[in-house]
Each structure stands twice: as structure tokens, then as C-alpha cells.
Amino acid sequence: MSKIRIENVCKEFEGSMAVKNLSLEIADGEFLVLVGPSGCGKSTLLRLLAGLEQISSGRILQDGNDISLLPPRERNFSMIFQNYALFPHMTVEQNITFGMRMRKEPKQQYRARVDRVAELLQLGALLNRKPGKLSGGQRQRVAMARAIVRDPSLFLMDEPLSNLDARLRNEVRDGIMTLHQQLKTSTVYVTHDQMEAMTMADRIAVLNNGDLQQIGAPETLYAHPANLFVAGFIGMPSMNIFKLPCQSAELWVEDQRIALPDTEEAKNLSEVYLGIRPEHITECSTEPEIPEAGYLYLQASVTHRELLGADYLNHVSTSLGGLRYLRENRGEAPQKGQQVRLRFSLQDLHLFSGTNQQNLHRETHHA
């Protein structure tokens, strides 16, 4: 049982802020994923939680107790790194039990725990092997076993999959998820890969430049990104974004009017960002049929295509600029120069302020 609360935490390195006034909570049993581009402060935040770095200001609470100044060994958290170092001269079992042996725990005390963890991670048959005789995925499972066997109150994982090839990555990812379902240990998992975040997280916290951008369920971040950064970061292929002029809370796309939310803020804007996801755009008949209310239509010309498998990602030019959308692969490749008429629902449109890049609908959608 463990509930962690990070309150107004800052971390400064030689005058530059790696983590800026960050607050969030990790619920008991939650799988929280920290995601953001390289250098945004993910590892720093994890190391602050682990106690490997000292916070510059703020507090970290565990079940209401301030643990900000506790040394790492008194926090009972387990950390799993990208570069998991196993001792090459020790067997799998000796690697797993290293910490207990260092603390001189009697063997009969941890024997059952080791067996359970070995079974959970399917390492039972490998206990007497040395790491050199294991595959990459098996080695990563040993590193996990070593972290789990301590029965920590919180797991901290820093990009544990990024050194594995694609197939192994899926295998180990499934392993981590199965494990989490069984153990229900609160976990903070760091990745730069939004896809990993979307597939694994109970909630995702998006960081950029040391700033928390948004925290919420994957579905919430996808449907209601709080700002332009989250909009562009979450979702693959990424959202089409256009910066357009607006006036009196309306903008025009060809001869079609888009109304901004009826707010003072929107009335004063002279520019907005318009976002539409590739998967929300569909082709319609090239014959200019009567436009349906609630939809926006665009004339487009195919510039190139990417075959993704079941779909093509079509790149087209439009009056808004270059745009990408998904088109079902029906065994017939779209041709360069081909004219298409596209449409999307105004409900799938995302609008962000041209000045502060915040979602203009944000007041109605809290995570």
C-alpha cells in the first residue's frame, strides 16, 4: 500500500531548472507513465522519487509522511533502469538474491519469495545459469526479478525497454503488465515513447522542459489535449496542426466558417491553431455534393503515400497546407497528383490559442 504525493517540487542543476514546480499524485496500485521528449526531466523526477537526487524545493510525501530527506535505502522503492547491470560471475539466483545476502537475511526467510518471483517471471529453469548464457529479454526479466523480490512499495522504471529489439520489447512489455496486474504495486514508468505510454498507463503525465503539461487517462489526453504540445505529442500518426488567422471568434477555411468557443479570450485572438488527427479525416466523393452541416470539406491533391499495412498514410496538399490522413488499403495505391475531396467532423477539431497554445475548450474538459 502506498500513495505518493509530489508537491511543488523543483530541481535545479547549476542554475538550470530540470523540474519546475511539479505537483502530482500516484495512487495506490496505479501504473503512472511519465512521458516526454529527451531531456524534459523524466529521469530527474524518477531519481528525486528514489532519493538519488535531492529536491531543490517542495516536498515528497508517502502516505502522508514527508520522505523528501530520506536516503534511498530507507524508502523501500525499487528502481529498474534502461541499463540493468547484472553480475556476470553470479548465477541468476545469486543475482536475484544479492540484496538479501548483502543484508544477511537468512535464506529460509526469502526462499519462498524467490521461488514465487521466479515463477512469475518464468525464470524457474534458469536459476543456475549465468547472465552470459541468457537472451536480452531473459536478462531484463532477471533485473526485474531482482527489483520485485524486495517487495517494494513503489516501482520506478526508467525506459526499461529501450535497449531491446521490437519483438522483445513487446514480450517484456506484456510481462511488465501481467506482473502489475498480479502485484498491484504502484509504479512510475518513464518512457519517451508515447505509444508505450498509451498502451501501458492507467494515467499518463506529459512533461516538457521540466513542466507538467497534462496528467490523465490515455483516452483523455488523446481526446482532450490541454495544449498544443500534448496535442502534437500524443497520437500516432501525429495530429495535423495549422496556424490560422481569426477575428471576432471565427475563422474561415475556404468559404466555410468555424466558430471559436464563445469566450472573451477567443474574441480577442487574432490567431488560432487548428488541429485534426489523420484518423479523423475521410475521403468523400469528388463530386461537390451538398455539404453536410457539422462537417468541413477540403479539396486536396495527393503528394505522396506511406503504406502502413491496413492503411495508407496519404500526404496531400490543401489550401491549409500539407496534411496527412489515413485511407484504408483496398489493394489500390493512391497516385501522386490524384485529386481527393476530404471531410472531417467539426467535433473532431481541436482549437488552441495562437498566443498561449492552450486548448480553447480546456475549461470543459478536466482530466
Ligand X SMILES: Nc1ncnc2c1ncn2[C@@H]1O[C@H](COP(=O)(O)OP(=O)(O)O)[C@@H](O)[C@H]1O
- The residues of the shown chain that bind ligand X, judged by CB under 6 A, are 13-14, 18, 36, 38-44
Which is closer to Mg ion, CB of 42 or CB of 146? Answer: 42
Q: How far is the CB of 160 from ligand X (least distance, A)?
A: 13
Q: Smallest Cα–Cα separation from 121: which of 192, 166, 178, 199?
A: 178
Q: How far is the CB of 125 from Mg ion (least distance, A)?
A: 34
Which is closer to ligand X, CB of 43 or CB of 97? Answer: 43
Which is closer to ligand X, CB of 43 or CB of 359? Answer: 43
Partner in contact with 39, chosen from Mg ion, ligand X, none, beta carbon below 5 to 8 Å by kind: ligand X
Which is closer to ligand X, CB of 30 or CB of 158? Answer: 158
Partner in contact with 240, chosen from Mg ion, ligand X, none, beta carbon below 5 to 8 Å by kind: none
Q: How far is the CB of 53 from Mg ion (least distance, A)?
A: 12
Which is closer to ligand X, CB of 26 or CB of 207? Answer: 207
Partner in contact with 13, chosen from ligand X, Mg ion, none, beta carbon below 5 to 8 Å by kind: ligand X
C-alpha cell read off for 352: 488552441
Q: How far is the CB of 36 from ligand X (least distance, A)?
A: 6
By CB under 5 A, which span of 36-44, 217-225, 237-245, 252-260 interacts with Mg ion?
36-44
By CB under 5 A, which span of 37-45, 139-147, 314-322, 327-335 interacts with Mg ion?
37-45
Q: Binder to Mg ion among 6, 43, 187, 235 (CB under 5 A)? A: 43
Which is closer to ligand X, CB of 207 or CB of 300? Answer: 207
Neighbours of 96 (CB within 10 A): 27
Q: How far is the CB of 43 from Mg ion (least distance, A)?
A: 3
Q: How far is the CB of 138 from Mg ion (least distance, A)?
A: 24
Contact flag: residue 208 with Mg ion (CB under 5 A) = no
